Amino acid sequence: MKYLDEFSDPVLARRLLDQIHAATTKPWAMMEVCGGQTHSIIRHGIDQLLPEGIELIHGPGCPVCVTPLETIDKALAIAAQPGVIFCSFGDMLRVPGSGRDLFTVKSAGADVRVVYSPLDALELARQHPDREVVFFGIGFETTAPANAMTVHQARRLGIRNFSLLVSHVLVPPAIAAIMESPSCRVQAFLAAGHVCSVMGTAQYPALAAKYRVPIVVTGFEPLDILEGIRQTVVQLEAGRHEVTNAYPRVVPAEGNVPARAMLEDVFEVADRTWRGIGTIPASGWRLSARYREFDAEERFAVGEIRTDESPLCRAGEVLQGHIKPHECAAFGKECTPRNPLGATMVSAEGACAAYYAYRRLDLVEVGT
Amino acid sequence: MTTVDFSAWSCPVPLRDTPAVVMGHGGGGAMSAELVEQLFLPAFGAAGAAELGDSAVVEAGGARLAFSTDSYVVKPMFFPGGSIGDLAVNGTVNDLAMSGATPLFLSTAFILQEGTDLAVVGRIAQAMGLAAAAAGVRLVTGDTKVVDSASGDGVFVNTAGIGLLAPDVEIGPRRARPGDVVLVSGDIGAHGIAVLSCREGLTFGTSVLSDTAPLAGLVAAMLRTGGDVRALRDPTRGGVAASLNEIARASKVGVSLVERDLPVPVAVRDACSLLGLDPLQVANEGKLVAVVAAESADEVLAAMRSHPLGAGATVIGECVAEHPGTVVARTALGGNRVISLPIGEQLPRIC
Amino acid sequence: MSIAERDGTLMADVDFGGVRKDVCLQYVPDAAVGEYVVVHVGFAIQRLDEDSAKQTLANFEQLGILEEEFGAK
């Protein structure tokens, strides 16, 4: 694919690293918001190559990880209902609910299907008019336009046997919540590049000013991440706290205007519970009144949901950057990708999964 | 009926919490291995014996035989580059070849779903006949059963095979040592991507074809050099990652790979990037990984490259004394990452 | 690569370097054949600005060049 190799070039990476090393005179802690960035950092070993004083705190930008336990349990309840075809992205299937996950529900006979796009789910609804097709609509602002368009399509084409279980979350309120936390150590943010491709950068100057933190829009390839870190270090060293764009090739300041218009129409802001963190006001989207008929929570009576989170799981602290995955006592022992206690160990973008997959050699004694 | 007593198992095991079969048990990764090691082998007791290589080496009447079996349940049954028939023959031929044996005879058992189009069964059988001829083996015995349409769909095939082992050939997953060189016979990831490109819900057009092929001839060419070939695996389910992890664990060595040297074709790399898969964990059906003593590496590699199925053979790493049991890759940027045994089924993910 | 209308939505047959897939172009309606887009779960969400990409790479090339006596490769 175009411009992936070029932005992974090891020679240029070395140059960026040299610049970062040369510029750093004090220790700094910065948070990369997006789980995809965390994954790229750990996978390429970028954190191992930075100056010792630079700490990357992994943020809550993993939509799979932050989907509230209650919503997962609702998904399980809906998927188990006869006649339902429950569609989801792959990485939601193994996220633990209160005792089960979608995978086990599927083994018990429910029709749970992995799809690549919500449009695939809509197509299933078209092909099976006698079944109820439900799509698990999780994600940040990057994924929401896809779900919005799909619901919009469903209405236009008159497809009634389709609904969405919505759990969208927003980045700017998360940044605010993290900065408001008393134990916050974050001094700068690498903003999520693809979220900004959609939403633009308008929401960030106010945050940068209020909390006095540099916010640098950053991409995902190794050079993009290094450049984002470089711009951040330069600002921190100079005592500046501005919003800059290190990913201009896909982030225009205004984002994607037609997408934002669709989002305005289909969704409305709501309070949202982030798993492991708690309720952050006005931090999520739900379907607007005009589209409420497509809301799976309204269409399916799921009854009383009583959630049961593992007491050993410290995913919430990992998501807020208070601890690193290997600092949790259960890491690599009671909690592994095969036996996950929390979502951060299951999701491909979860910090715990990334550390386990790529780093456990350095961190945990390798047993059989 | 015996119940399985999980309380005696010392490691934290998913089976304790999910006392039913799940798809992951058939994925070829850690869960499959566990099912064999914790459920089947203990149940077989004294009558069971498994080297846990691709095939078993047994002695009978003065001859050394390699013996292997595999079942093929792939969906869709026909995919770019081949069919379940090709896999059924080549898969067992390759399992035998991985012990250094000359594959000779195959059995084949069919489980057919009632209602399956006979023309489909015919196509599969034809493919098997052609594959067997190309591999130089004979299909000598078999069985057919029919199940009702409620259970499974289409055609399931099992093949079992025997091959002859020369007396001085000792190849197996326990024989790797630090200093040995790790080779792969060509591009990786093609088969898994070719099959995924057809699955419902994930249809995307791709130019990638399955690489299904019989490898006995390539192995014979490698052994004819007289070089010290210590271990061979065909990286099917779970990909190169699974094969190298199995060798690392069985031999108690570390494996160190150089990511830049892995032969991943562009189309496979892009498809994997799209689906969030690691090419090292994607299945291959016409490739082998070889662990070769360092002093023999050059001549074995040359022999591979002059064989049609080994033209793309290359060095991808080495065995080391550090981190025994674990496979580590050095990334292009200079960092390290652990290459894990895949857990269960490969699930395409969101980003 | 082709762009067609389907069910009133702009869809494109996009080539991901050998992998071809249907992608909805409704959010990037002025994307033309031959251009590059960022795709997420089956939807194009932004165009890739090639000039900007080249400029960014050129900036990286320039980094540190004044401090080196002999330019690297």
**Beta carbons of B273 and A366 less than 8 Å apart:** no
The DSSP call for residue B307 is S
pLDDT at position C68 is 53
Residue A23 has pLDDT above 90, yes or no: yes
* Nearest by CB: C24 against A2, A119, A223: A119
Instruction: State residue B10's pLDDT score.
Output: 36
Distance, CA of A49 to CA of B112 (rounded, Å): 56
Most distant CA pair in chain C: distance in Å?
61
Test B31 with A338 for CB contact under 8 angstroms. Answer: yes
pLDDT over threshold 80, residue B67? yes
DSSP string, B7-63: GG--S--HHHH--S--GGGGSSSHHHHHIIIIIIHHHHGGG-----SSSEEEEETTE
Q: What is the mean pLDDT of chain A?
A: 89
> ∠ at Cα A337 (A334, A341), nearest 5°?
45
Euclidean distance between CA atoms B233 and B283, whole angstroms: 12
Among A98, A114, A138, CA closest to A274: A138
Q: What is the pLDDT of residue B50?
A: 61
B28 has a pLDDT exceeding 80: no
Contact of B323 with A366, CB cutoff 8 Å? yes
Q: Please write the tens of the pLDDT for every residue from B257-281.
A: 999 999 999 888 888 877 778 899 9
Name the residue in chain A with its Cα closest to that of B331.
Answer: A44
Contact call for A49 and B334, based on CB within 8 A: yes
A39 close to A351: Cβ distance less than 8 angstroms: no
Quick check: C48 and A251 CB within 8 A?
no
Q: φ, ψ for residue A129 (rounded to 5)? A: -65, -15
> For B42, how many CA atoms within 13 A lie in the half-sphere containing its CB?
12
The answer to whether residue A338 scores a pLDDT higher than 90 is no
pLDDT confidence of residue A309: 78
- Please report the ipTM that was assigned to this predicted complex: 0.82
Class of residue A23 by CB neighbours under 10 A (exposed 0-12, middle 13-18, buried 19+): middle
What confidence score (pLDDT) does residue C31 get? 82
CB A195 within 8 A of CB A167: no
**pLDDT at residue A31 above 80?**
yes
B55 or B174, which is more confident = B174
Query: What pLDDT sits at residue C17?
Result: 53
Phi (first) and psi of residue B315, to 5 degrees = -80, 130
List CB contacts (< 8 A) between A149 and chain C: 9, 24, 26-27, 43
User: Higher pLDDT residue, B28 or B301?
Assistant: B301
Cis geometry, peptide bond prior to residue A214 (ω within 30 degrees of 0): no
Q: What is the mean pLDDT of residues A174-198?
A: 92
Mark yes or no for CB contact B332/A113 under 8 Å: no
If one compares B54 and B71, the residue with the highest pLDDT of the two is B71
Alpha carbon of residue B125 to chain centroid: 22
CB contact under 8 A, A10 and B334: yes
Determine the distance in angstroms separating the CA of C3 from the nearest CA of chain A, rounded to an integer. Answer: 17
pLDDT at residue A367, rounded to an integer: 37
More confidently predicted of A280 and C15: A280
Q: Tell me, what's the pLDDT at B99?
A: 93
The confidence score (pLDDT) of residue A233 equals: 97
Q: Model confidence at B27, in pLDDT bands (50, 70, 90)?
A: low
Cβ distance B160 to B92 under 8 Å?
yes
B202 pLDDT exceeds 60? no
pLDDT-based confidence at residue B9 (cuts at 50, 70, 90): very low
More confident residue, C64 or B151: C64
Q: Do A259 and C49 touch (CB under 8 A)?
A: no
**Which residues in chain C are closer than 8 Å to A116, comparing Cβ atoms?**
41-42
CB atoms C24 and A15 under 8 Å: no
> What is B199-226 written as a DSSP string?
STT---EE---------HHHHHHHHHTT
Which positions 196-235 of B are in contact with C (Cβ < 8 Å)? 197, 204-208
Residue B49 sits at φ, ψ, to 5 deg, of -160, 120
Q: What is the mean pLDDT of residues A294-308?
A: 82
- Inter-residue contact A309 to A22 (CB < 8 Å): no
Give residue B11's pLDDT.
38
Q: Which of residues 131-170 of A touch B (CB under 8 A)?
A: 139, 143
- The Cα A82–Cα A130 span in angstroms is 12
pLDDT tens digits for range C24-52: 888 988 888 778 888 888 888 998 898 99
Q: Which residues of A281-308 are buried (b: 16+ CB within 10 A; e: fewer)?
A: eebbbbbbeebeebbbbebbebeeeeee
To the nearest whole Å, the CA of A259 is away from the closest chain C CA by 6
| CA-atom Rg of chain A in angstroms | 21
Q: Kindly list the partner chains of chain C, i.e. chains with 3 or more CB atom pairs below 8 Å.
A: A, B
Query: What is residue A278's three-state secondary structure?
Result: strand
- Lowest average pLDDT, out of A132-136, A349-353, B167-171, goes to A349-353
Mean pLDDT to the nearest integer, B43-61: 75
Position B14 scores a pLDDT of: 44
Decide the pairing of beta strands B205-206 and C19-24.
Answer: antiparallel
Q: What pLDDT does A361 receive?
A: 67
